[in-house]
Amino acid sequence: MTHDHLRYLKLFLCGLANLKWTATYVLSIAAINWSVGNVPLLLVFGIELPPGLLLAGAVFVLRDFSQQEIGHWVLAATAAASVLSYFTAGFDIAAASTLAFVVSETVDWAVFTLTRRRLSQRILISSAISVPIDTTVFYWARDIASPSGIALGIAVKMLASVGIWLWLRRREQGQQSYGAPALPWWTTALSATPRARSSHRMIWVSFSRIGFHAYPGAPATTAYLRPQHRHKFWFRVWIEVWHDDREIEFHAFLEWLESLYDRGRLQLNDQSCEAIADHLHQLISTAHPGRRVWIEVSEDGENGCFTTYEGCR
């Protein structure tokens, strides 16, 4: 396999990684519709409910994460899920589901797009509006509508949205303070998935620190760099954000970065500017996985390096 083939394979795998929520969203709709026609009904408080309904609430959250990945193309993903449902659930169930999703998902897309709030709040608001619409339309299309059944269906679906809203809200608060305890990996994955798009938003901060390093392998022409010597290291760090409300705030991000180097003057041994940038990226990617990061490190503002790190790494 040539170098070009490996490069194209890497780009393809990165593309798949960036679409994992979209794929999960499409497959979940087909699986839930299949369960409606093939899994016995559950009796909950004397009301019969399709088992798939217990997972249906998560579909609206998955749709929101899918929109984070592919933007307005999420409407095409919804259409693809409707087509796939015809092959997994039969005409009657697929038709009712398609009608419900066309109405409710369009509303969900509009609310999620137009609402200028944090990710957790947009998920909760869009779900609170679209879930009742979806449940009512689906029950009506299946001719099983009843006030108690619709109310219970809405309540069950909203459990997932409310739960994920609480998780994301806690994580957003933790990002602002940088002092919150670490959350489980799956919570981080939900809100740290990079979006596949032609452009991306980056914020940047800058700071400086006094440090000492050496270049033991310096050639004879720059032999004066071999012993330890002093520089004022300038840092400029860019990090990707996913919406206009900036879930990572400038000042909080800067304070956190500066705190990483608050132990007096930096003793960098034989680290180059490139090695310093790589080490800093490791720390950033641990706190904010999946995001593009650009780092510039310079010596005395005169010479330095600029390194980009892609979010799918």
Contact 127, 161 (CB under 8 A): yes
Beta carbons of 26 and 84 less than 8 angstroms apart:
yes
Q: How many CA atoms lie within 13 A of 185 on its CB side?
A: 1
Q: Where are the beta strands (DSSP E) in the chain?
A: 42-44, 47-49, 201-213, 229-241, 266-267, 293-299, 303-309
Distances 247 to 235, 239, 242 between C-alpha atoms, Å: 22, 11, 7
In whole angstroms, how far apart are CA 37 and each of 31, 58, 80? Answer: 10, 19, 20
What is this structure's pTM? 0.46
Of 55, 171, 189, 53, which Cα lies nearest the Cα of 121?
171
Q: d(Cα 121, Cα 67) in Å, to the nearest integer?
A: 15
> What per-residue confidence (pLDDT) applies to 22?
84
| Structure letter (DSSP) for residue 2 | -
Rounded (10°) angle between helices 20-38 and 74-89: 30
Residue 267 phi, psi dihedral angles, 5° rounding: -105, 100
Are the C-beta atoms of residues 195 and 71 closer than 8 Å to each other? yes
What integer pLDDT is reported at residue 145 of this predicted model? 58
Residues in CB range of 259: below 8 A, 6 or more apart: 178
Q: How far is CA 58 from CA 107, 113, 258, in A?
A: 16, 19, 39
Q: Which two tokens stand for residue 257?
A: 């970065």
In angstroms, the Cα distances linking 121 to 95, 128, 243 are 31, 11, 13
SS3 154: helix
Amino acid at 180: A
Look at residue 108 in the predicted model and tell me its pLDDT.
66
pLDDT tens, residue order, the chain (313 aa): 565 555 555 555 555 556 778 888 888 888 877 877 777 777 766 666 666 666 666 777 777 777 766 766 777 887 788 788 777 767 776 677 667 766 766 776 666 666 556 666 667 777 777 778 777 777 776 666 567 767 777 777 777 777 777 776 776 565 444 444 444 433 444 444 444 444 678 999 999 999 999 998 889 999 999 999 999 999 999 998 877 677 788 888 999 899 888 766 788 888 999 999 999 998 898 888 778 899 999 999 899 999 999 865 4
